[in-house]
A and B are shown apart, each in its own frame.
Chain A
Amino acid sequence: MEKSVVFNGKLLPYVLLAPQLAITLIFFYWPASQAIWQSFLREDAFGLNSEFVGLENYQALFAQPEYYTAIGTTVVFSSLVTVLSLGVALLFATQADKNLKGASAYKTLMIWPYAVAPAIAGVLWFFIFHPTLGTLARPLRVMGFDWNPMLNGTHAMVLVVMAAVWKQVAYNFLFFLAGLQAIPKSVIEAGAIDGAGPLRRFWTIIFPLLSPTTFFLLVVNIVYVFFETFGIIDAVTSGGPAGTTTTMVYKVFADGRLGGDLGGSAAQSVVLMVIVIALTAIQFRYVERKVQY
């Protein structure tokens, strides 16, 4: 799409673009290219000298068992959060789509967690499941379940997944509800006339028609889990216990800051960049075309 009527200006458009371009170049392109360049360098312990080492950082990275652990953790974490938050949101959205009285109040009461910072969501869930203080940890202990997310890696993972899902359902709910409301009622009525019950109608009519929304949300959720959940993990577990909740993004942060391994951290950043670019490309390619309307 292009405008057919435009202004003539030689200098003005550049002046208008200048602020955004300057900020983008200084705070985006310069650091991003530095990350790529740094991934080929090795700095000495004091950060005074660096030498070009080619692909050594990448070789070292992919020879590290911890990196594969982090990849595994990321896959587990993002699958759990994505599937659970999409599933729960779809359940709520289908219920909220039923022309109920007070539907808009329910909608408001469902979407506010979107506004809670991930780190705070983490702190809230950590507090109610804190092994000694937690309101919900007590019943678990009374039932004889040795709940301790500070020592047990599985428990820690369950806790960060809960916090991440809690925060993300709101977003998915909103998009699913919009998707459901956009489905023409006549299609559903036609199904009903043909004798299809509510469940059958859901799986054969509504769910396929919702697939563009679902696919879009799938990509958005994976990106969310990759990056925005950093705050949850840092606030709840700091990647522990024993690295069981260290995701790829968390490792970039931990290796660069605590470990001081900037080259290795940069190499990890580049790997992540490739993954995000691939995800975004998939989103643009397929979201419009391949998923059926």
Chain B
Amino acid sequence: MHQHQLRAGPRAVRRVAALGAAALVTIGFTACGPSISGADDAGDSSTLQAPTEESPEGTITIWDRSGDLYEVFESVIAEFNEKYPDITVDHQAVDIDAKLQNTLITGTDVPDGVFLDDAKVAGFAESLWDLSDVLEPYAGDIAQQKLDVNSLDGGIYGVPWDLDPGLLFYNATALEAAGVDAESIETYDDLLNAARQYKQAVPDAGPIHLEQSAFLGQLQLEMYASQLGTSLADADGELRLDSLEYEQILTFLDTVQQEGLGTRAEYLGPTDIETLEAAKQVFYPWAIWFDFAPQQLLPETSGDWRAMPLPAWEDGGARSGAMGGSSFVIPKDAENPELAWLFYEFLVFDEAGYSAVYGPNDVYPNGLNTSIPSYTPAADPDEPLFGPVEALGGQDLWKTAVEAGAEIPGGAPIPTWWAGAVDYLGNNIQRMLDGDLTPQEVIEQSSADIQSNLVDRQ
């Protein structure tokens, strides 16, 4: 009996390949059900228009991530309803990464508005409303970098929300004790010198953070590039990694590594936290959202940290670049896209809206200080929305960040395949930090791989 069963096994397996096709015909399902060719009903109607009614009414479904931002946006809804009492907001905390793509592909229960990473907007553009008409009145007052990342082929597909300027966080107390004058740092050469100086005083230090996660390392690289007004691809999607700008940045990182001036660690992983607390890492060039670390995760050195604009790549160069950020998108299949636009218009461009988000609220009694508004009227250096940050020694982070944000150059769109490039560029940066590749090799190998695996396969 066992013998018999054993023979049945392989026979069945062997036949599978041939029979798969037979089953296809036999069961006769090929003709019915959804076609793989989705209907292409885009065209002229894909540019959203603002509603014209006096008091529009309806229900909108808004997706946000769970957590602090959900709570913050939740508190804005009441204020929104004071202005638009007839619009009901169905606010949902959703696993956006897992759901959005599938929902847009199948067009089922599509939300009216979604909170989305800037880097992902272009990838979904085909399923989103072009917002260039409704954004027209505000476009002149929006940080150029945010318009660029939301743009594709002349359309704008997201309502730009936060700006995440890169800053140089530094441990002022430790640097002072070592006799290093951090405040005089103006260029990356100055930063290298300061790091060398600190290293002399504290030999086991690796003063500058070197990111070890391939993804975040590439994100940080793009922050440096944004300072120089460039990014991985231009507005036409042409790869432009092979440039003097990228070579300069990679050479800087390579120098930090070769001279032993860096600590290689994953952002806020165990090694990172320990070395930050022990003042072995004292320079952290990162987006403004790093400020959460001294506020929550670094009790020993909390209060010792300060933030200043990033050093410039050349004398007089821009002192900041963007790293991360999010926007709001409105899917084409949304039921009430116009009403969703009204919600985001209120949240981003209405003083009551942005003050409720960034200002003191139940979630953040001192205001939300991990990013700043990208709408320039909201980002006035002299009218802070959030208060001074205690973990930064009471520094007025608002002013520092807003002024840095104003320096971020435009012209740095994010290509749709950005995240896919991590396998090539992100990895090659790490190989360089291992000492296995030179900056030039990183550029050559990554360019070739990105071109053939990502750009050519779009």
Q: Do A and B bind each other?
A: no
Binding site for B on A (CB under 8 A): none
